[in-house]
Structure 1
């Protein structure tokens, strides 16, 4: 056996290690072996543990798109652009909601001085692919319908959905998308090489976990809308901010997609957080590396929406 592949890689930053330990108090490493209902209860408790105070003056409003898709609209105390941020949450397509990423969305909206809309798409296994994709795309079309520019952002599974709906928007000629931000996205890598092998037992997310989520979603691996790395032509896509975590099996998905976008002539900013693990956004108030990564992400989104 190759000991390099079997050893558990770990960062050294005390803040992110403390974050990981705290996460496992709420969401155990073997959570995927539990029932879907139990996974969601654990995840909701985890998200509540890392909640944060709302920015002063920011307001929220919950509405529906097409009479069925819940969205949450954030308006910060100061709005400096007509462009809006559209945020798609992560959670392996299995867990997550408007509430799970509420504090993250609020802080991004406030930092960018831009309105933000988040979506509560349908989850697997009750609804397999393309249910979540269709929900996210329907909200994108609604947001573009009034002519205001949109920056689409998402983490993990939300990063997959972000990249996928932007590819579909290009195919259908939708106008008005001025940027995308992909945060440790899963984009359809091969599960057996590169970071999928090197970081197979990384803290927070393992390669086996990624495989589990793919099996539940039942998305076609050769469809670029479901697996954006399968797309051979990335030209004409909007300016992009992509951030990955070094200690993450999804690391090389971010690396490779950023490189392919750049090769296709797309304006790309790429960062890889050297001490971070998957889901480090939640550690932004207890880890120096996560705090810096979140600030850089927020600055990148601010550039995309045009307030910097």
Structure 2
């Protein structure tokens, strides 16, 4: 990868992170079979794993849904009576990741808020194209809504941000609809002819070519781009959504999706806040312990989840 204008635009400590990711998972890996990509991604995730904070316990389980079982992992703070549950959808372009790849992030989210966190191991493409991941995401929400007895906050990053938004839209009239959602550099199916899609088309760690690759792998035959369960920004109704916080990275082609989503919610009379983290790139959550700007961004994310789970508006 050539650094181009990003050589001086991004801080040296962020370049250390970017180079470390590319050493594990270089851009050209998209040409390999999916199972090989997953093996490399899983090794990279283990290399970046920070361990779980003291006092956080986790247990694995299965959610029965329409003839299939959805693996989940529930995190709880020992000795703390949780006031809410976070339903967390991991990133990975809908083809990568699972309970292990984002284990430490979920554990830290649990420790930072005192809330239970339910990490969802939804089905991945290409074995399971859309709407498989969405169906699993909704089933996990419905299970949490009916069994946890806790208010729910939806949260996800990248592909998981897409799922969280799609679930929020599909379940907004549920008897136990989410009381908030936090989307972290989500891909929402925005306008690829403008904004960050053009300015940051070749950004480090995610390019528009990567986005197209993941979208194509996920798509069923004759997939409509206007399906809001596939592209939440293509919905025609943004009313009735829970209070929403969207955090994106400046140097990420997906950043404009966050701005557009905020604007649609506000125009429909809802409450939403979007923040673009300056001089950061897609996947900055993995840099939260080594890059000060990512550390601060993650702290803001945890604080937003905490406030929404308590029924407060953080901004």
Please, what TM-score do these two structures have when normalized by structure 1?
A: 0.94
Q: What's the CA shift for 1:189?
A: 1.6
1:235 Cα deviation from its structure 2 partner: 1.2
Query: What does residue 71 of structure 1 align with?
Result: 72
Q: Which residue in 1 is equivalent to 2:189?
A: 188
Query: Secondary structure of the residue that 1:145 maps to in structure 2?
Result: helix
Alignment of 1:225-236 (within 5 A): 225-236=229-240
Question: Mapping of 1:153-232 within 5 angstroms?
Answer: 153-170=155-172, 173-218=174-219, 219-232=223-236
> Following the alignment from structure 1 to structure 2, what is the Cα–Cα distance between the partners of residues 220 and 158?
20
Q: 1:222, 1:118 → 2: CA distance? A: 28
| C-alpha contact (below 8 Å) 2:83/2:310 kept by paired residues | no
Q: Which residue of 2 is the match for residue 151 of structure 1?
A: 153
SS at match of 2:179: strand
Large movers: runs of 4+ above 6 Å: none
- Work out the CA distance in 2 between the residues paired with 1:267 and 1:77: 33
- Unaligned residue ranges in structure 2 (runs of 5+): none
Quote the residue 2:91 is aligned against.
Answer: 90
C-alpha displacement of 1:255: 1.1
Deviation of residue 80 (structure 1)? Answer: 4.8
Q: CA deviation at 1:13?
A: 1.4
Aligned pair partner of 2:250 in 246, 249, 254: 246
Preserved contact between residue 121 and residue 135 of structure 1 (Cα < 8 Å):
yes
* Offset from partner CA, 1:163-207 (integer Å, 9 cap, x none): 00111102x534231110100000002333221111111000000
The alpha carbon displacement at 1:269 in A equals 2.5
Contact residue 84 and residue 309 of structure 2 kept, 8 A: yes
Give the corresponding residue for 1:3: none
Structure 1 residue 239 displacement after superposition: 0.7
From 14, 31, 39, the counterpart of 2:37 = 39
Structure 2 vs 1, CA of residues 279 and 151 (structure 1 numbering), >3 Å: closer, same or farther? same
TM-score, normalised to structure 2, is 0.92
Q: Is the 8 A contact 2:251 2:280 kept in 1?
A: yes
- How far is 1:120 from its partner? 0.5
Matched, 1:270 2:274: yes
The Cα shift of 1:83 comes to: 1.2
In structure 1, list runs of 5 or more residues that go unmatched. 1-5
CA distance change for structure 1 residues 263 and 79 in 2, over 3 Å: closer, same or farther? Answer: farther
